[in-house]
Structure 1
Amino acid sequence: MQQRQITEAKRRLIRGENSTKELAFQFGFNSISSFSRFFKKAVGVSPSVFK
């Protein structure tokens, strides 16, 4: 499930469909920082660096 979320978040970041803030709330995170930590742990870089 988490890998699927990461894959979808990466796709949306690459396409520029959503901001990090929008993605955080779309994926059910309570804050941008918690989403960023989740993303960085899985990918190795923050969403803004990945973008």
Structure 2
Amino acid sequence: MLAEGFPPLVVAVQNAQVPVAQLAEFLLARLPQLREFLGEQREFGFIFLRVE
């Protein structure tokens, strides 16, 4: 998904050099947090996630 416009929102994932299935599981486990972050924000946003 690509969304353009204001405000700019960035989701950064560190240590994403893992199998796709593991990355998908990691992101799905954080789906509530990501939905809240990508929801109705009025300012620039940056969320940093680290795959462990």
Would you say same fold, with TM above 0.5?
A: no
Q: Give the structure-2-normalised TM-score.
A: 0.29
Q: Which has the higher contact order (CA 8 A, sep 6+)?
A: 2
Structure with greater proportional strand content: 2
Which has the larger Rg? 2
Tell me which protein shows more helix as a share of its residues: 1
